[in-house]
Amino acid sequence: MSHQDLLERLADIPPGSALADARKTREAATTHAQGSYDALFGELSASGLTLAERLHLARRVAEWHDDAQLVEHYAERLAGKAASERFEQALDHAERLSFQPVQASLNDVQALSESGFSEEEIVTLSQIVGFVAFQTRLLRGLRLIGRQPVNGEQVRIPAAGEWHRQPQSHSGKPAPQAFTQAELGWEPWVGAKPYAEFTAEQQETLKRFGHQDSDYFRLLGRNLPVLEQRTLTDKGIFYTPGGLPRAERELAATVASKVNGCIYCASVHARKASQLSKHNESVERLLAIAPGNTLSDGQSPRWQAEINFSAALSATPASASAQQINALREQGLSELELLDLVQSTAFFAWANRLMLTLGEPFN
């Protein structure tokens, strides 16, 4: 485990506690969540964005997500460093990514490009917004599991979100207009970096994860250290033994995607939830929930508790509550299962904000 564990410190997790032990069991997720932070905000991070720009952006996103301790952390690291003149041009886009990522469009990416942001910088900007969204939800979930106080204890469970309904993608391909378990394509608005332009060492990194033929991952490969740590975080959350059944981790990913309106992410993870749980009708019922309606309608008590919690944790700012954690414990979830549910949900605050704001799906 990393000698520095920012989440442990900000969530005030006592050494030797049940939650600390659960995080040791999920050591890969714990280590690479910290590694993702280091890749984005380390002194030697590879990005056209200056460290001051990255920290100012992270602080602002943490403010929008209402995490005072995380805001203070980024403010302390800034130590009076001034933002650049162009920084304000990125804030409008970052605010949209934070609150309504489904509203992002190709025009927003083009506006950043016209303002002088490179493809690498646009990718890093999206990674920062997505990562801090992930951090804030992890922190709220960890505090709730650890029985620490959180802001706004009233229960507020968001309904199913809106999604894109245009009949065609920007390139003219037919676009999905409803949530589905069918396999979809995805095309980037920022140019995916050609495989041949990566160094031999970088190509090996892409191949290690099977990313070499994916436009999405070669796009994120424009900041490869962040992509590598993010991929390892993903694997540590979703592909680890014991704890929450894998189907229910995939369910959490689907719920977050329904809240955020990410049809592509939902298609992948609903399909996995259905295959693993053998509850295809329940997954289809979730996918069919219309915008503004309650996501947990018609589900089993355990799935209702998990869906309600994941939806509340996916709100902006997150609104998951101690009452919901108690409801999950009443359904028999252990400390490790609660951690898995929090991490699976939180990761899709990050994933949705990349998929929705750097490209779009097609049939």
43 confidence band (pLDDT: 50, 70, 90): confident
Residue 264 and residue 186 in contact, taking contact as beta carbons nearer than 8 Å = yes
Q: Is the pTM of this model over 0.85?
A: yes
Query: Which two structure tokens, joined as six digits, stand for 210?
Result: 């099977």
Q: Give helix then strand counts, H and E, for the chain.
A: 17, 2
163 confidence band (pLDDT: 50, 70, 90): confident
Residues paired with 362 in a beta bridge: 185
Residue 61 and residue 98 in contact, taking contact as beta carbons nearer than 8 Å = yes
86 confidence band (pLDDT: 50, 70, 90): confident
Residue 296 and residue 307 in contact, taking contact as beta carbons nearer than 8 Å = yes
Q: How many CB atoms lie within 10 A of CB 32?
A: 23
In the three-class reduction of DSSP (H, G, I as helix; E, B as strand; rest coil), residue 17 is classed as coil
Residue 306 and residue 341 in contact, taking contact as beta carbons nearer than 8 Å = yes
Rounded distance, CA 323 to CA 167, Å?
41
pLDDT computed for residue 1 by the predictor: 35
Share of the chain above pLDDT 90, in %: 87
Mean pLDDT throughout 184-213?
96
Rounded distance, CA 154 to CA 109, Å?
36
